[in-house]
Amino acid sequence: MKILVYSDFRKISHSVRPESEILIKLAEMGHQLTVCSPHFDDEHYFNQAGISTVCTHQVHKISLSAIKILREELRKDDYDIVYATNSKSIPTAAFAVMGFRAKLVCYRGTTRGLYRSDPTSYLTVLHPRVDAVICVSDAVKQAVKAKIWRERCVLTAIFKGHDLDWYKESPLDLTSEGIPANAFVAVAAARFRPTKGLSVLIEAAGLLADLPNFYLLVVGSGTDEPQYKKAIESSPLRARIRLTGQRSDAPQLIAASQVLVQASTDGEGLPRAILEALAYGVPAISTTAGGAKEVLEEGQTGFVVPTHDPEAIAAKIRVLYDNPSQLAQMASACRAAISDQLSSTTTAQAYAAFFESLLVDTN
């Protein structure tokens, strides 16, 4: 297949590596890829894998110059698939591909933000030129299915896999964060919007103040909001809650912890932090919001609890705190899950099979 990809690959960091590795593996399978991005800092990352790159210099959500660049590329070669992934690349690709035979596939990673009454939705997933949508979880697929108008638009759910080889960096020493070396640490890592459930997690942590060496580590932006400061100040665990702010070494902070907690109340697709935790052998506790419940094996790689339920979160943390042997067994199961059903190779194979299925009726 000939595949044109439009996404944002300014820099290949841990946040975009799962997506970029899918493309590398598709190229290794023998497919011809061209990757387009508004800018590249690590262009050689794709070039050394035999993938061509095109810089569009796009700034705004709709860019006539970027559309022109993509159309010029589409004229050069007879592409089978155009794959676009975000709120800038999807509208641009949708207009660029008009008049060409290529199937337009877009990516969806959240259950929220898609509304039939919102005109901007018709620039992305609801755009009439979109032929298919790859959703990061079945939860996302069902959310999109409820909004899509066109029966011919094909939906699928494919997890965005990871590889154990990406996670060989040593866990960080948490004593630098004021956490003792023998502490039991629950970590939360996210961009903390209201739906991330940080208030619920802080309340859950307060229920564990009787555990003498239990600490809560919160990694990510958005934690300086007044409601979180107030919740921490009134928490019985306030002296043992650590906020790091946004960190580029978040995976290593997760690796240094005993359990990851995702207390989201709504809007999740499949949180990257959960897969990063599993790759480091750190079990996860997640709510039923989004797709985490689809990948966590209860009692083996983590636990799934209801939303808005701090007591349930606290109870599962206490189980792991009180059972170090179970925690060790779960660590092995977490890594095995990544190397098997949640690997990037499995994801790339699923992408290739889905793209090929879209071409059956056009060949």
CATH number, domain of 239, equals: 3.40.50.2000
Q: Give the total number of structural domains in the chain.
A: 2
What contacts 336, CB < 8 A, 6 or more positions away? none
Mind listing the pLDDT tens digit for each residue in 72-122?
Answer: 999 999 999 999 999 999 999 999 999 999 999 999 999 988 999 999 999
Q: State residue 362's pLDDT score.
A: 57
155 and 82 within one domain: yes
266 and 217 within one domain: yes
Place of tokens 């506790």: 285
pLDDT band, very low/low/confident/very high, at 129 (cuts 50, 70, 90): very high
Q: 206: which strand partners? A: none
151 and 252 within one domain: no
Q: What single-letter DSSP state applies at residue 161?
A: -
Average pLDDT, the chain: 94
127 and 57 within one domain: yes
CA distance 339 to 312: 29
290 and 202 within one domain: yes
45 touches 33 (CB < 8 A): no
CA distance 256 to 244: 14
CATH number, domain of 353, equals: 3.40.50.11380
Closest CA to 188 of 215, 218, 208, 214: 218
Mind listing the pLDDT tens digit for each residue in 136-189?
Answer: 999 999 999 999 987 889 999 999 999 999 998 999 999 999 999 999 999 999
Cα 158 from chain centre: 12
Mind listing the pLDDT tens digit for each residue in 253-309?
Answer: 999 999 999 999 998 899 899 999 999 999 999 999 989 999 999 999 999 999 999
- Mean pLDDT, range 212-241, rounded to an integer: 95
147 and 16 within one domain: yes
256 touches 171 (CB < 8 A): yes
358 and 329 within one domain: no
CA distance 361 to 355: 12
CA distance 1 to 352: 9
Q: State residue 151's pLDDT score.
A: 81
Residue 12 has pLDDT above 90, yes or no: no
Residue 34 is inside which H or E element, if any?
A: strand 32-37
pLDDT band, very low/low/confident/very high, at 55 (cuts 50, 70, 90): very high
85 and 205 within one domain: no
- State the first-to-last Cα distance of the chain, in angstroms, to the nearest integer: 12
- 165 three-state secondary structure: helix
Q: State residue 105's pLDDT score.
A: 98
188 and 74 within one domain: no
Alpha helix stretches (DSSP H) within 38-137: 44-47, 64-76, 89-96
Alpha helix stretches (DSSP H) within the chain: 17-28, 44-47, 64-76, 89-96, 138-145, 198-206, 226-233, 250-255, 272-279, 292-295, 310-322, 324-339, 344-359
Q: State residue 186's pLDDT score.
A: 98
168 and 157 within one domain: no
323 and 266 within one domain: yes
Place of tokens 């990673």: 109
pTM here is 0.92
Q: State residue 150's pLDDT score.
A: 79
Residue 363 has pLDDT above 60, yes or no: no
What contacts 201, CB < 8 A, 6 or more positions away? 188, 216, 218, 261, 263, 310, 313
Torsion angle in degrees (nearest 10) through CA of 269, 118, 102, 28: -20
- The domain of 78 spans 2-161+343-362
Closest CA to 254 of 348, 128, 170: 170
Q: State residue 149's pLDDT score.
A: 83
280 touches 163 (CB < 8 A): no
Residue 361 has pLDDT above 70, yes or no: no
- Mean pLDDT, range 50-64, rounded to an integer: 93
Q: State residue 15's pLDDT score.
A: 76
154 and 168 within one domain: no
Q: Is 267 exposed, middle or buried (0-12, 13-18, 19+ CB in 10 A)?
A: middle
Q: State residue 121's pLDDT score.
A: 92
Mind listing the pLDDT tens digit for each residue in 313-349?
Answer: 999 999 999 999 999 999 999 999 999 889 999 999 9
